Amino acid sequence: MKNLKSKKLYLQVYDELRLYIVKNNLKPGDKIPTEMEMSQTLGVSRNVLREAIKTLEILGVVSSKPGVGMVVNAFSPSSLSTCMFLNLIEDKGNLFRQSQEVRKVLEIGFAKQCFDSMTDEQLVRMKECVKAMESFEEYEDFYDSDAYFHQCMYENLDNKMLIAYLDSAWECDRSFRGKMIDDKALRIKKHRDIYTALYNRDYDAFMASLVFHFTYKYKGDSSEGQE
Q: Is residue 225 part of a domain?
A: no
Asked which of 72, 99, 123 is the last residue of a domain, the reply is 72
Between residues 56 and 116, which one has the greater pLDDT?
Answer: 116
Question: 195 and 87 in one domain?
Answer: yes
Instruction: Indicate if 10 and 96 belong to the same structural domain.
Output: no
- 83 assigned to some structural domain: yes
Please tell me whether residues 12 and 116 are part of one structural domain. Answer: no
Are 85 and 177 contained in the same domain? yes
Half-sphere exposure of 142 (CA within 13 A, CB side): 19
Total domains present in the chain: 2
Instruction: Provide the 3-class DSSP secondary structure of residue 70.
Output: strand
24-33, 106-115, 163-172: lowest mean pLDDT where?
163-172
d(Cα 62, Cα 121) in Å, to the nearest integer? 36
Do 81 and 171 form a contact (C-beta atoms < 8 A)? Answer: yes
Sequence-distant (≥ 6) Cβ neighbours of residue 50 within 8 angstroms: 35
Query: Do 47 and 128 reside in the same domain of the chain?
Result: no
In a domain, 227, yes or no: no
Instruction: Categorize the per-residue pLDDT at 136 as very low, low, confident or very high, splitting at 50, 70 and 90.
Output: confident
CATH number of the domain residue 48 falls in = 1.10.10.10
Say yes or no to pLDDT of 79 above 70.
Answer: no
Q: Which of 48-52, 70-74, 142-146, 174-178 has the lowest mean pLDDT?
A: 174-178
**Pairing relation of β-strands 69-72 and 62-65?**
antiparallel
pLDDT at 80: 62
Supply the pTM of this predicted model.
Answer: 0.65
Domain boundary among 19, 42, 72: 72
For 92-103, how does the pLDDT look when each residue is reduced to its tens digit (9 = 90+)?
Answer: 567 777 878 888
Question: What's the half-sphere exposure (Cβ side, CA atoms, 13 Å) at 60?
Answer: 12
In this prediction, residue 144 carries a pLDDT of 86
Question: Structural domain of residue 198, as residue ranges?
Answer: 78-215
Q: Do residues 17 and 65 share a domain?
A: yes
Please check whether residues 103 and 174 belong to one and the same domain. yes
CATH of the domain at 102: 1.20.120.530
Q: Examine residue 28 and state whether it is found in any structural domain, yes or no.
A: yes
